[in-house]
Chain A
Amino acid sequence: MQVSFSTMEKVVGSFILLIFFLFVGSAILVGQGQKWFKRHVSYFSIYKEGYNLAPGAKVRLLRTDIGEVTEIELTENNRVRVTFRVLEDYASRIRLDSKAAIESPTIIGDEYVNILLGSKNAALIPPGGEIPSKEQKKLSDYLEELDLEHKLLLVDEILDHIEIITDRLDDPDGGLFGTLNEVKRITGGVADGKGSLGRIIRKDELYNQIMAELKAVDGILAKIRKAADHTAGATGTVEAEMPVVLGRIQDILGQLQKISRQLEKAMQDVPEISQEARQGMRDVNEILDSVKKNFLIRGNLPPQPAPESHGVQVRG
């Protein structure tokens, strides 16, 4: 049977064929860019936690992308198993003493798996094998590096000291109040004629004799009186000021408690803020990567100076 096509049918057929080829061509070009047609080798590593790593995260060797994370799952013994695939071309670089570390460009950057090179002489890790892991530094590790714990301990120690001092001041038998009570008891005894001083004051003949001898030292007595007045005044001031001082200390302690509560709340918000910042960093990184790859921008980036070999200049 002879099948004949009209001109219109031929045009439409050619158009459909053209579209099909364009589609296949585009798919191939995209696939080439995404390395769909390259052979990969899978490995896995076990970590204590996932460190916000997600499937699709990059795998790098010497700051060069060589693969991606394919799967993240929890193991039966509560560990995180991260499976990733690496371009077959680079599999020969992964040795038994290589390490897979989860890293990020900054503390809150976009996590990736960084393969640390092993020695040349070490044996190769077979495909599907485990690469020894290296745990990521946590925020607490950074805080440890900053010695924040030590500083907080110091603050805690200072607060303890303040508490001990205020307790001592507040104690009716010790410290300031104890001394004041002692002074009051002694002066009361003298006034009642108790003790040596009290008896001297109470007997008239002794009093007259003493008064006669004391006339020569009137000036000294006046000075002693003046000093005693001052002491009494100072003691009065201390007594008067003490409630105010204690009130201020109470205020300060109240403020510290308030700050501590606010700090606690802020620390609870940190993961949320960190998550948002992480997302922001991820977006910026993606934009920058795209910009760098753009053919209009790529050509305008400053060229790298050419590497050169060096010769030693002898002096002396």
Chain B
Amino acid sequence: MKTAARLLLGGLAVLWLFGLACGGPKPKPDPVLIAESKRLASQGSYWYDRGCYDRAERYFFQAMETSRLLDDLPGMLRARNNLGAAALGLGRYDEAAEHLNKALELNRDVDSRSEASLIYGNLAGLAFKVGRAGEAESLWRRAIGEAERDKARTGLGLHLTNLGVFYRKTGRLAEARTVLDRALALAVQNKDVRGQAAVHVELGLIASEERDLTRAQQHVSVALDLDKQAENPAGIAYDLEQLGLIYQRKKQWSDAARELDRAIRLYGALADGQAVARVYGLIKANRAAGSSPGSLGPYERLLKASEGNTTSILCQ
């Protein structure tokens, strides 16, 4: 009797091992593919943070494909949102809308507040860029609402800063200052250096519109220091441009010429043709005021170089 029981147990053990060998009830995802998917997404984020949107886009696209292979819905959602953000950075608004709407659809299954907050924020940025102000405001408010309900409050500071930009651009300076003060407190609390810089430059622009140029200069100078600390080339160029504008308003022509010269060169390195053209206009105005010595030749060359479809040297 005992022998029969032992044989039965042995047989059951063998059967169990075979069952285990056949993969069990739930197949495990391929760890190599998971690692590859993570690597692609991280590479995309690396280039996105440096403003290299075309390079980031390629990685995000591959990350989406690997996530699809893994049936990883959160990964696909992240990749879709990031593809939308990259397309927005590249000025391809139709594509951005398509990616972001698909990300929203995916989030119905994933149901993540943090992702919803970022998608609504990006959709708001898109509406703002295409000139649909009312829609942009309501989408940012929705993004802020989602972020406030999220435990990690992902993107809250970013949305508040963007809403501050929107209010300033639409002349609602008091409301802008309120949301920006809140954004600054959050950025300081989270030790988000880039976020702090973005708020400071906006506060500087508000002060400039209120004709308090001393305060404006202080804010923008702080922003410049913070962007340098965060190694944010696009931010540094923007801060230098604003500083140049403030000096122009103060009629400090040579100081303005120095800052605008730095800004246009950095924009040139970033291959931002629109910004180069904008700063070139400011430099010409500065020169017309009579206090900007030197030739416009190098700037004209930069302008010509940035007209073509070039890639930033920082993205190579």
Contact = CB atoms under 8 A, between A and B. Distances in A.
B27 A314 contact: no
Given A308-B45, A315-B165, A37 B63 contact: no
Residue with the highest number of chain B CB atoms closer than 10 Å, among A64, A313, A316: A313
A166 interface: no
Given A304-B35, A304-B42, A315-B238, A310 B21 contact: no
Interface in A80-95: 89-90, 93
B32 A64 contact: yes
Nearest to A17: B10
Interface residues of A, number: 31
B48 A310 contact: yes
Contacts of A28: 17-18, 20-21
A21 B85 contact: no
Interface string B17-50: 1101111000100101101101101100100100
Interface string A280-316: 0000000000000000000000001111111111111
A62 B62 contact: yes
A46 B32 CA distance: 29
Interface in A102-117: 117
A307 B45 contact: yes
Interface residues of B, number: 54
A305 B49 CA distance: 14
B148 interface: no
B14 interface: yes
A186 to B, nearest CB: 63
A309 B32 contact: no
Given A307-B75, A307-B78, 5 more contacts: A307-B63, A309-B81, A309-B118, A310-B86, A312-B121
Interface of B: 10, 13-14, 17-18, 20-23, 27, 30, 32-33, 35-36, 38-39, 41-42, 45, 48, 62-63, 65-66, 69, 75, 78, 81-82, 85-86, 88-89, 114-115, 118, 121-122, 125-126, 128-129, 154-155, 158-159, 161-162, 165-166, 194, 198, 238
Interface of A: 17, 21, 24-25, 28, 31-32, 37-38, 61-65, 89-90, 93, 117, 304-316
